[in-house]
Structure 1
Amino acid sequence: MKAMIFAAGLGTRLKPLTDTMPKALVPVAGKPLLWHTIQKLKAAGFDEIIINVHHFAEQIIDYVRANDNFGIRIEFSDESQQLLDTGGGIKKASWFFDDEKPFLIHNVDILSDIDLQSFYRFHSSGDATATLVVSERETARYLLFDKNHHLTGWINEKSGEIKSPFPDFNSDRYKKLAFSGIQSLHPSIFDYMQDFPEKFSIIDFYLSVCKIERITAFIPQNLQLIDVGKIDSLTEAEKFY
């Protein structure tokens, strides 16, 4: 099974640690975030992984090579010249997903107790083009889903901004769920990306296609999830392990 790890971010909220290392190599419980993500993917049966890199890209590549690719196939998608955002990053790595099977994407700074194998099976057994792991945790920006768990829109509660491809959209009618940074996609998604620019957000992309393709929610029960995006979240992450 194939997966992609998003590891290209600048990690600005983790400064000063990320002044000298990429976010992916910031340690939690004595091991880099990247180590935790790779081990979780391997335990779920993913044995072919591509990692996008930008900030201190060589450090990430050297770390993986020094660990003998963790005993699996690991490739890199080089974004060192320009960060391509989440959608552009997936599009650039499309060559890797050449077996016509669904694949999984995992942010490197997300720690959780989700069963990735069950999630992957859920997506593979359905008819959704993309399935997003979401939960009812508190955040400023939410994805909006209908009663059938189909994506319908997005809202930023701080700014009041709302996005949806549906006319006369009323956000109050839909369920607000927070995206986890974990998702599974079918390679057919790349057909819709052809006309998109080199750099774009995957959420904006989903909002542009959810009217014609099924983008659905996966809501784990009692999900424990930590977004290791800020310095103060490192203490919480240490407790997680």
Structure 2
Amino acid sequence: MIGVVPAAGEGTRLRPLTDSKPKGLVSVAGRPLLEHVFEALLDSGVDELIVVVGYRAGDIIDHFGESFEGWPITYVHQRERLGLGHAIGLVEPHVDESFVVLNGDNVVDGTLDRPIQRFEESDSDAVIAVEKAEPDRARETGVVTVDGKRVTGIVEKPDEPPSTLVTTGCYVLSPRVFDALELIEPSPRGEYELADALGVLIRAGRLVEAVELDTDRVNVNTPADAQQAEQVFDSEGV
């Protein structure tokens, strides 16, 4: 399975750590953030990496080169940062099978086996890895509503979250998502949201499912988040 890593963002909330390097090269537990992302994907069975780069793209390409631990890396340039949906759409020429997405600022303490296994066992077009969150946090991310495992709705950064289940930046997707991405318009924030494309699939009657991510995860957006991620590894003696 192919692993897609969106890593084009500037990481403004991580300043001053990102003043002279891209977010993906910020050190977490003594290694660049992206190394942790790549390892989580490879440990989950991924055998090829596609990395969407933007801000200081050359630094990431120079650091990792054409492979990571022997597995090939393809770089795709997102020259305008127009949202996660836009980033995913850019990889279409390189993808002809189902693929797993893990955002490039996610430190995962374990594997993505649970959502990948659910995708492989079901007839779904998408599996969203989710976790429970307080309302304040839910207002800052994607929120899903479900009937059992089936997703009935998904909304990005709602003022009034309709549930406590939030997206985690991990998705397993079929190529059908590219057709849905072509049908969406920019959000009020001016971005093409992956959530809107998944909403297209839901309204078309396609099966989109949610599975809770059964591992600790830290979304590294601020220096405090980087410290929290380091504590995850320190607790395991890494």
Secondary structure of 1:145's aligned partner: strand
Secondary structure of 2:107's aligned partner: strand
Secondary structure of 1:19's aligned partner: coil
**Is 2:157 the partner of 1:177?**
no
Listed as ranges, the matches of 1:206-217 within 5 Å are 206-212=198-204, 213-217=206-210
Counterpart of 2:5 in structure 1: which amino acid? I
Counterpart of 1:225 in structure 2: which amino acid? R
How many angstroms does 1:23 deviate by? 0.5
TM-score normalised to the size of structure 2?
A: 0.85
Distance of 2:156 and 2:219 partners within structure 1: 20
1:203 aligned to which of 182, 195, 201: 195
Listed as ranges, the matches of 1:161-176 within 5 Å are 171=162, 175-176=163-164
| 2:26 aligned residue | 26
Counterpart of 1:16 in structure 2: which amino acid? P
Distance of 1:236 and 1:124 partners within structure 2: 32
Secondary structure of 1:108's aligned partner: coil
Counterpart of 1:75 in structure 2: which amino acid? T
For the Cα contact (< 8 Å) 2:37–2:108, is it kept in 1?
A: no
Give me the identity figure in percent: 28
How many angstroms does 1:192 deviate by? 2.2
For the Cα contact (< 8 Å) 2:114–2:213, is it kept in 1?
A: no
Distance of 2:197 and 2:81 partners within structure 1: 17
Name stretches of at least 5 consecutive residues in structure 1 with no aligned partner. Answer: 163-170
| 1:131 aligned residue | 127
The 3 A distance-change label for structure 1 pair 155 and 46 is closer
The 3 A distance-change label for structure 1 pair 29 and 134 is same
The 3 A distance-change label for structure 1 pair 230 and 152 is same
1:191 aligned to which of 170, 174, 179: 179
**Is 2:111 the partner of 1:115?**
yes
Listed as ranges, the matches of 1:69-80 within 5 Å are 69-79=68-78
Distance of 1:97 and 1:83 partners within structure 2: 21
Distance of 1:51 and 1:191 partners within structure 2: 21
The 3 A distance-change label for structure 1 pair 211 and 5 is same
| 1:165 aligned residue | none
Distance of 1:140 and 1:22 partners within structure 2: 26
**Is 2:228 the partner of 1:239?**
no
Counterpart of 1:4 in structure 2: which amino acid? V
Name stretches of at least 5 consecutive residues in structure 2 with no aligned partner. Answer: 234-238
- What are the Cα deviations for residues 13-36 of structure 1, in whole angstroms up to 9, with x where unaligned? 101111111100000010001111
For the Cα contact (< 8 Å) 2:40–2:110, is it kept in 1?
A: no
The 3 A distance-change label for structure 1 pair 239 and 10 is same
TM-score normalised to the size of structure 1?
A: 0.84
| 1:151 aligned residue | 152
| 2:90 aligned residue | 92
- What are the Cα deviations for residues 106-135 of structure 1, in whole angstroms up to 9, with x where unaligned? 011111234323421211211221111101
Query: How many residues matched?
Result: 223
After superposition, the CA RMSD in angstroms is 2.1
| 2:236 aligned residue | none
- What are the Cα deviations for residues 90-110 of structure 1, in whole angstroms up to 9, with x where unaligned? 111011112x3x210001111
